[in-house]
Amino acid sequence: MKTVYTAPKISSLKDNGIKDLLYVASYLPELRLVYLTGVPVRIELNKGGYVELNSEEEEINLSAYNEIFKNLSEFFYGTAYLYGFVNEGKLIIYDAFTNDNFLSSRDLMFLESKYKIPVVKPIAEGNFTVDYLVEVLNKKINGEGMKSNKFYILPSVYVDDTRSYTSATEVVKSKIILGEKPATTTTYWSGYSAQTYTPQATAATVATKSAVSTTTTSTVSKKKSKTDKIFAEIFEVSTKEERQQIYEQTLKNINSYMETLSLSETEKNWWKSNGKFFAYLYSILTLPSTRSIVYDYGEFYYLDVEECANPIEKKWATFFIDMFGEVFQGTLETKKIKITSDFYSMFALFFKEELIEFDKFFVKETDKTKDWRYCENFEYYKGVY
Which residues touch 381 (CB under 8 Å, ≥6 apart)?
305, 308, 309, 374, 375
Q: What rounded mean pLDDT belongs to the chain?
A: 80
8 A C-beta contact, residue 211 and residue 237: no
Quick check: 225 pLDDT over 50?
no
Tell the burial category of 163 from Cβ atoms under 10 Å away from its Cβ (0-12, 13-18, 19+): exposed
User: How crowded is residue 61: how many other Cβ atoms within 10 Å of its Cβ?
Assistant: 10
User: What gap in Å lies between CA 181 and CA 254, rounded to an integer?
Assistant: 36
Name the more confident of 6 and 385.
Answer: 6
| pLDDT of 151 strictly over 80 | yes
pLDDT tens column, 209-220? 223 233 333 333
Residue of 216 and 324 predicted with greater confidence: 324
Model pLDDT, residue 202: 38
Model pLDDT, residue 229: 78
Regarding predicted confidence, which is higher, 148 or 59? 148
Residue 63, pLDDT above cutoff 70 = yes
Residue 197 has pLDDT above 80, yes or no: no
DSSP string, 154-215: EESS--S------PPPPP-EEEEEESEEPP--EESSTTT---EE-PPPEETT-SS--PPP--
Across 176-190, 224-238, 273-287, 365-379, least confident range: 176-190
Kindly list the distances between the CA atom of residue 339 and the CA atoms of 233, 308, 315, 323, 345, in Å, as whole numbers in the listed order: 24, 21, 17, 11, 12
Identify which has the larger pLDDT, 369 or 22.
22
**Where is pLDDT greater, at 153 or 201?**
153
Instruction: Indicate if the pLDDT at residue 381 is higher than 80.
Output: no
57-66, 210-219, 369-378 — which one is most confidently predicted on average? 57-66
Q: What is the mean pLDDT of residues 240-254?
A: 92
Burial readout 337-363 (b: 16 or more C-beta within 10 A, e: otherwise): beeeeebbebbbbbbbbbbebbbebbe
- d(C-alpha 9, C-alpha 245), whole Å: 18
Residue 184: φ, ψ to 5°:
-130, 145
Q: Which of 161-175, 279-293, 332-346, 364-378 has the lowest mean pLDDT?
A: 161-175
Phi-psi region of 253 (alpha: psi -120 to 50; beta: other; left: phi over 0): alpha
The pLDDT of residue 232 is: 86
User: What pLDDT score was predicted for residue 160?
Assistant: 54
Averaged pLDDT, 263-292: 93
Distance spanning both ends of the chain, measured CA to CA: 21
Averaged over 259-267, what is the pLDDT?
Answer: 94
pLDDT (tens digit per residue) in 69-125: 999 988 887 789 999 999 999 999 999 998 778 999 989 999 999 999 999 999 999
* Residue 218, pLDDT score: 32
Residue 219 pairs in a beta bridge with none
Amino acid at 200: Q
- C-alpha to C-alpha distance for 192 and 190, rounded to whole angstroms: 6
Of 36-40, 115-119, 300-304, the range with the lowest mean pLDDT is: 300-304
In this predicted structure, what is the pLDDT of residue 44? 94
Is pTM beyond 0.95? Reply is no
CB contact at 8 A, 57 and 71: no
Indicate if the pLDDT at residue 384 is higher than 70. Answer: no
Counting DSSP H helices and E strands in the chain, the numbers are 13, 13
Q: Would the pLDDT of 49 be above 80?
A: no
Residue 188 or 60, more confident: 60
Contacts 24+ apart (CB under 8 A), 54-60: 54/9, 54/10, 54/172, 54/173, 54/174, 55/10, 55/86, 55/172, 55/173, 56/10, 56/170, 56/171, 56/172, 56/173, 57/173, 58/173, 58/175, 58/207, 58/208, 60/86
- The runs of H, that is alpha helices, within 76-149 are 105-115, 130-138
Is 80 exceeded by the pLDDT of residue 133?
Answer: yes
Q: How far apart are CA 232 and CA 364, in angstroms?
A: 26
Q: Set out the domains of the chain in order of their start, with CATH numbers.
A: 13-178 (3.30.470), 221-381 (no CATH)
